[in-house]
Amino acid sequence: MKSDAWSVVFTGLSLTCVTSTVLFLLVVINPKDASYGSAPLVYAGISAGLAVAFNRAAAWMLRRGPSSA
């Protein structure tokens, strides 16, 4: 795949991780079960970290150039 296509893939993964971060934080605000504990916060942190990593990967792919394999 070309680097432009990979950049789009990584951007989509980053946006998906941002969405999951927001959803996990909403579960922290309004949990349906008290047994969740701190798990939603851990998942939100992991999702936020992955969102940043995928965003950086997308930017790196764009810097590589349009015709890199």
Residue 26: per-residue pLDDT: 96
Ramachandran sector of residue 9 (left: φ over 0; alpha: ψ -120 to 50; beta: rest): alpha
Average pLDDT over residues 20-38: 94
The answer, yes or no, to whether residue 7 has pLDDT greater than 50, is: yes
Whether residue 68 is predicted with pLDDT greater than 50 in this model: the reply is no
Is-contact 7 51, C-beta < 8 A? no
Region 22-41: mean pLDDT is 93
d(CA 7, CA 47): 19
**Residue that is written with structure tokens 């941002």 in the block:** 18
Mean pLDDT of 29-55: 95
